Amino acid sequence: MSTKSQHNLIYKPVPGLLRTLREEASLTQRQIGQKLKKPQSWVYNCETANRRVDIAEFIQWVKECDIDPIDAFERLLTGKKKRKS
Residue 22 within any structural domain of the chain: yes
| Model confidence, pTM | 0.84
Residue 49 within any structural domain of the chain: yes
The domain that holds 24 is classified in CATH as 1.10.260.40
**Contact partners, residue 47, CB within 8 Å, separation at least 6:** 15, 16, 18, 19, 22, 29
Q: What average pLDDT does this structure show over 26-41?
A: 98
Tens of pLDDT, residue by residue over 44-81, are: 999 999 999 999 999 999 999 999 999 999 999 998 76
Type and span of the H or E element at 64:
helix 55-64
Res 2: pLDDT: 47
Residue 4 within any structural domain of the chain: no
Cα dihedral sign, 73-54-17-63: positive
Residue 68 within any structural domain of the chain: yes
| Count of structural domains within the chain | 1
**Contact partners, residue 62, CB within 8 Å, separation at least 6:** 21, 68, 69, 72
Pick the closest to residue 18 from 5, 55, 84, 85 (CA basis). 55
- Domain range for 57 is 11-76
Residue 83 within any structural domain of the chain: no
